[in-house]
Amino acid sequence: MPSGARSRPGSKGICAQVAAVAWLLSSAGVAHGAPALQTVGETSLGYTDNVESSPSTPVAGVPPKSGSPFSILRPGLVLTLSTQRSIHRLAYAFTDIVFFEGSPTQNSLANRLDYQGFVDVSRSTSLLLDANVNQTRTDAASGLGQDASLLPGATPYLGATADELLSVELAAEWRAWEGADFLLQTPLSAGPNPQTTSLGARTGVERAWRSDAVGVEARVNDTIIQNSVLLDGSPAGTQKELTTTGVGRWRHDLGRHFTDRVEAGVMRVERLNTDAGFWSPTGTAALTYTDDQGELELSYAHTMTSNLLLGQYLLVDEIRLHGALPLLRRPAVLLAASAGYQAGQLLNEDTSVAAHVDTFLVDVGVTCQVADPVLLGLRYQYVQRWSDVSLPPLPLSFTRNTVLMTATIKWPPDREMPRRYRAPVRVDRTDEVRE
């Protein structure tokens, strides 16, 4: 994105900047900043009316719907290093979930490690990195909404993701970028549980004016799913899909806080194991609100995706609302919301529609900072899924209500820690958060 009078680097300069990324990641912060360590302790008490996301109508081989109070204990550490040219954040959290009624096998332990890094490679080049490793029992609601895995699922998984985005200012009004992403989710228990591996890449260029930006982007994604099943429950074998997408992009700043974004184009979906494929329009529309303390986005997308828990490919239309905004400054009260509706079509090997799976999620929470290091919170989550199928382990229809009360202690408090980096959404980049 343009940022005023940035000079145009020569071709040799761009090559040198890209080559210097690894050196900067290893040396940034040695001479410019000291690391900051924060300890986090979180404890929660809650109740859910559907511990195992069981269908409302009993199905053979699936535990009946039952409720239970439960507790969550989540200690963690956050290590942050902020320098003149980089921000690095490493966070670890251990989670222990205990249900007070039902079988002890419903209890769950989880470990999660997150990393985020931002580096100014030069005046015209920046690098953003995100990665996480997560050992958990994946929740049935995790296919829609951010941080939707409030409760554990039935199968333990090891998941890992990694994303990188390299952005280069070619001139005062021109920006180019390239990105790559990797995903792996593999089961940690025996049985026909799906394993998903995905590798993606994208590149694009954009021309910006004062409050508008127009560009194009090309994307490619290769996804492999093993141990999936067909609608009749028989093994589906290894599924391979290649999705290639080209879109045009337009962004526009509306006043000081609102930005809208529209993408439209075409995608080619190819099932490599059956040589079947189809063309489809694709697009996204979003309206984002940002201020210094929060952000909120409402978006619509028509795209191709894969559900990691189900081990299925879906063509989806989805609407999402997510973000967090301060309601009061003193005392500090924060509203966090995640809501969405996804209309999905499960695809057969020949790319025909096998079944319809629709999901609705509402997840709303309020936190209040009652003392400098202490936060109290109340959270409610509602999930409903409608499905054409009735044979597990394929997605069954279910509903679930969950309420949660949380107390969190952070030491030192957040105001004494470097803030987490937030990439800009606006054309004028005024919403970027970096310290």
In a domain, 423, yes or no: no
Q: Could you tell me if residue 275 is inside a domain?
A: yes
Q: What is the per-residue pLDDT across 134-190, written as a single tens digit (0 to 9) for each?
A: 999 877 666 665 555 678 887 889 999 999 999 999 998 999 999 999 999 999 987
Tell which phi-psi region holds residue 254, choosing left (phi > 0), alpha (psi between -120 and 50) or beta: beta
What element of type H or E holds 184? Answer: strand 174-187
Q: Give the pLDDT band (50/70/90) at residue 228.
A: confident
Q: Which of 266, 247, 175, 257 is nearest to 213 (CA)?
A: 175
Q: What is the pLDDT of residue 12?
A: 41
The pLDDT value recorded for residue 141 is 67
Flag whether 231 is in a domain: yes
Boundaries of domain holding 43: 11-416
Q: Are 410 and 39 in contact (CB under 8 A)?
A: yes
CATH number (domain holding residue 84):
2.40.160
Q: Which pLDDT band, with edges at 50, 70 and 90, does 20 fall under?
A: very low
When pLDDT is cut at 50, 70 and 90, the band that residue 106 belongs to is: confident
Is residue 353 one of the residues assigned to a domain? yes
Mean residue pLDDT of the chain comes to 87
How many domains in the chain?
1
Average pLDDT over residues 380-401: 85
β-strand partners of 385: 359, 398
Residue 155 confidence (pLDDT): 83
Predicted pLDDT of residue 142 = 63
pLDDT at 31 over 80: no
Q: What pLDDT band is residue 378 in, cutting at 50, 70 and 90? A: very high
Domain membership flag for residue 1? no
What pLDDT is attached to residue 33? 67
Q: Is the pLDDT of residue 114 over 50?
A: yes
Asked whether residue 435 carries a pLDDT value surpassing 50, the answer given is yes
More confident residue, 32 or 370: 370
The confidence band for 5, taking pLDDT boundaries of 50, 70 and 90, is very low
Burial of 7 (0-12, 13-18, 19+ CB in 10 A): exposed
Q: By three-state DSSP, how is residue 12 classified?
A: helix
> pTM of the prediction?
0.86
385: CB partners within 8 A, 6+ apart = 140, 357, 358, 359, 360, 395, 396, 397, 398, 399
Q: What percent of the chain has pLDDT over 70?
A: 89
In a domain, 224, yes or no: yes
Residue 417 pLDDT more than 50? Answer: yes
Q: Is residue 89 part of a domain?
A: yes
Give pLDDT, residue 143: 64
Instruction: Tell whether the model's pLDDT for residue 372 goes beyond 70.
Output: yes
pLDDT surpasses 80 at 301: yes
In a domain, 427, yes or no: no
pLDDT of 74 strictly over 50: yes
331 within 8 A of 368, measured Cβ to Cβ: yes
Q: What is the pLDDT of residues 187-224, one digit of tens each?
A: 998 777 889 999 999 999 999 999 999 999 999 999 99
The yes-or-no verdict on residue 13 having pLDDT over 50 is: no
pLDDT at 166: 98
Per-residue pLDDT averaged across 45-67, rounded? 87
Element (H, E) at 130: strand 125-137
Q: Is the pLDDT of residue 14 over 80?
A: no
Count the neighbouring beta carbons within 10 Å of the beta carbon of residue 67.
16
